[in-house]
A and B are shown apart, each in its own frame.
Chain A
Amino acid sequence: QSALTQPASVSGSPGQSITISCTGTSSDVGGYNYVSWYQQYPGETPKLMIYDVTNRPSGVSNRFSGSKSGNTASLTISGLQAEDEADYYCSSYTSDTTLDVVFGGGTKLTVL
């Protein structure tokens, strides 16, 4: 099963900004503006943080932002806080007929 490519881990100090990349293909990330990002704490359910590349659901801090260039989407977290330490997964609609949705491998964010 194809998957989007994310870095395994990123880290930053409180107050800094970090960016997590998510690389796919023209059949998914590059072909559609349907990239979403989910935050997951250990043992908990994923939480939607960004949808349709750049949109934030109600209640999500404006420290979280999304963007896309070509086949790579990015999640940026500014003003890092300890509570941001979690796993982050990107997801995209895909035109691959064997799938409907494809996820990234996940990125562990450590706040130093």
Chain B
Amino acid sequence: QVQLVQSGAEVTKPGASVKVSCKASGYTFTNHAIHWVRQAPGQRLEWMGWINVGNGNTKYSQKLQGRVTITRDTSASTAYMELSSLRSEDTAVYYCARRFVRHFDYWGQGTLVTVSS
């Protein structure tokens, strides 16, 4: 069955970077885009960006442009999201999600990133 398994929780300091992984299984990794969505405590879902896993092309939210980088390792069936210059408002649960046409049919379990001095 399709699974997206994310790396564990992170605690990091303002100004630092964090890299979250998302390992896919149960389907052909290169056939579906991977999107990243975050959710701050008590807040709505926020789209961050996506990667065409087949060719590596990416698109990022204008709000996060310049701070977020999404990559993939097809040999490991794993996508990565790196967020730099972290601020307290980046504290959130970060999700990867598989795109099927124009919706997200499978989600990772979420990774809590806490930014605190």
Contact = CB atoms under 8 A, between A and B. Distances in A.
B95 A45 contact: yes
Given A45-B109, A45-B110, A89 B44 contact: yes
Interface stretch (A9-17, A78-86, A100-108): A100-108
A36 B104 contact: yes
A20 to B, nearest CB: 14
B72 to A, nearest CB: 17
Contacts of B35: 100-101
Contacts of A100: 35, 47, 49-50, 59
Q: How large is the interface on A (under 10, 10 to 19, 20 to 34, 35 or more residues)?
A: 20 to 34
Contacts of A18: none
A14 to B, nearest CB: 27
Interface in A1-31: 1, 3
Interface residues of B, number: 23
Nearest to A45: B107
Contact of B62 (A38, A48, A98): A98
B45 interface: yes
A64 interface: no
A36 B102 contact: yes
A70 interface: no
B53 to A, nearest CB: 15
A99 B61 contact: yes
A102 B109 contact: no
Contacts of B45: 38, 46, 89, 91, 103, 106
Interface of B: 35, 37, 44-47, 49-50, 59, 61-63, 95, 100-105, 107-110
13 contacts: A1-B46, A32-B102, A34-B101, A34-B102, A45-B110, A47-B107, A48-B105, A51-B100, A52-B103, A91-B103, A93-B102, A103-B45, A106-B45
Given A98-B63, A100-B47, 19 more contacts: A1-B62, A1-B63, A34-B103, A36-B102, A36-B103, A46-B95, A46-B104, A47-B107, A48-B103, A52-B103, A91-B45, A91-B103, A93-B102, A98-B61, A98-B62, A101-B47, A103-B44, A103-B46, A105-B44
